[in-house]
Amino acid sequence: MLKINNLHVMVDDKLILKGIDLEINQGEIHAIMGPNGSGKSTLAKVLAGHPKYQITEGSIEFFDGQEYINLAELEIHERAKSGIFLGFQYPTEIPGISNLGFLRESVNNVWKAQGKKLLGKDDFIDFLHPIMDILEMKELFLDRSINEGFSGGEKKKNEILQLMILDPKLAILDETDSGLDIDALKVVAEGINRFKRPFNSTILITHYQRLLDHIIPDFIHVLGDGKIIRSGTKDLALELELKGYNWTGVGK
């Protein structure tokens, strides 16, 4: 699904990622952990194509269903259309655009590119309802401006709603658990678990073990100073919880 080779990324003339190698196969969940400033969010942003993040070395190859393509050659919206989704750590507020209009515009664009049949307004709302029920979201969400005035938990639920309706091949979820209380964490985790199927993949970026109590990753990678310094299975997260990041040698 995704092959990252020797990835070096620079932001504002500062090298943040210093040689990431990572391969993710269909059906796998990879958790990426690490202390603040280790480059986790940079990796997420560069996969989505943020213009501030420049690849200076290495490559990212993504399997679009037919062949591996060089991700760097795709525009941001083309990445979304080919099946990449970024769940934001801090979802952007956009006053003046209704959530419903935005969701439909997004789905129409992605589905059209994927050759799927588009839905009329009423059918689209009918399509949203069961997913919103899973996420315990009220209809009012649709009338409000995108993320404007949403609580931290509501914003994250809105991200997972988008994940579930766009149904991408690869989901990159950047600290989806931050700002969530215990109940909201369970609901969000339920959404992510429902999304996971044998033909898609997930990168979970998180600081803490607690999200991994609800979502069992196949692999865990620890990022430190722009590199993957340790990889393992879910037991690695428990070990990190007990011993802290210093144990992995981060910063030494």
Partner 1 sequence: MTYASSIVNYLTNEISHKEPVDNDHMHLLQLKKKLLPLFKMHSFPSNSEEFFRYSKIKESDFDHLDFNPVPVTSTSSTLLLNQFSNYFKHKIVFVDGELSQAQTMLPKGIFINKITNRDELDEAAKLLDQKSFFGLMNILHTRNIYQVTIPPDYKSSEIISTFHITTDNFKQHMSTPCVLIKALENSYANLFSLHLYLGIESHYYVTNSALYLNLKKNAVIDFSKLQMESDNSLHISTIKACLDQNAILNTQLISLGGKNSRENQHISLLDQNARANLYGLYDLKNEMQSDHYVEIVHQYEKTYSHQLFKGILKDQSHGVFTGKVSITKDAKHSVSTQLNKNIILGEKAHMTSRPQLMIDTDDVKCTHGATTGQMDAEQLFYLKTRGIDDNQAKKMLYHAFAREIIEASPCGKIRQILNDYILNNKETLSSDQSVTNRCQHGIFSFT
Residue 26 and residue 198 in contact, taking contact as beta carbons nearer than 8 Å: yes
Residues 6+ apart with CB under 8 A from 241: 208, 209
Query: Which helix (H) or strand (E) segment is 31 a member of?
Result: strand 29-33
Site pattern 150..179 for partner 1 (x: CB under 8 A): ------------x---x-------------
The reply on whether position 76 binds partner 1 by CB under 8 A is yes
- The torsion angles phi and psi of 33, rounded to 5 degrees, stand at -120, 170
Q: Which is nearer to partner 1, 149 or 244 (CB)?
A: 149
Task: Determine the Cα–Cα distance for residues 148 and 153; give it in Å rounded to an integer.
Answer: 13
Q: Which is nearer to partner 1, 121 or 129 (CB)?
A: 121
In whole angstroms, the minimum distance from the beta carbon of 39 to partner 1 comes to 19
> Pairing mode, if any, of strands 219-224 and 227-232?
antiparallel
The reply on whether position 50 binds partner 1 by CB under 8 A is yes
The reply on whether position 48 binds partner 1 by CB under 8 A is yes
Give residue 193's Cα distance to chain centre: 13
The reply on whether position 46 binds partner 1 by CB under 8 A is no
# of chain residues touching partner 1 (CB under 8 A): 33
The reply on whether position 22 binds partner 1 by CB under 8 A is no
Task: Determine the Cα–Cα distance for residues 150 and 236; give it in Å rounded to an integer.
Answer: 34
Q: Looking at 33, 41, 46, 104, which residue binds partner 1 (CB under 8 A)?
A: 104
3 state DSSP class of 79: helix
The reply on whether position 53 binds partner 1 by CB under 8 A is no
Which two structure tokens, joined as six digits, stand for 32?
A: 């990426």
The reply on whether position 102 binds partner 1 by CB under 8 A is yes
| Residues of span 195-234 touching partner 1 by CB under 8 A | none
Query: Which helix (H) or strand (E) segment is 54 a member of?
Result: strand 53-63
Q: Which is nearer to partner 1, 115 or 198 (CB)?
A: 115
In total, the chain counts a number of residues equal to 252
Q: Rule CB under 8 A: which residues touch partner 1?
A: 48-51, 75-77, 79-81, 85-86, 88, 91-92, 94-98, 101-102, 104-106, 109-110, 113, 121, 145-146, 162, 166
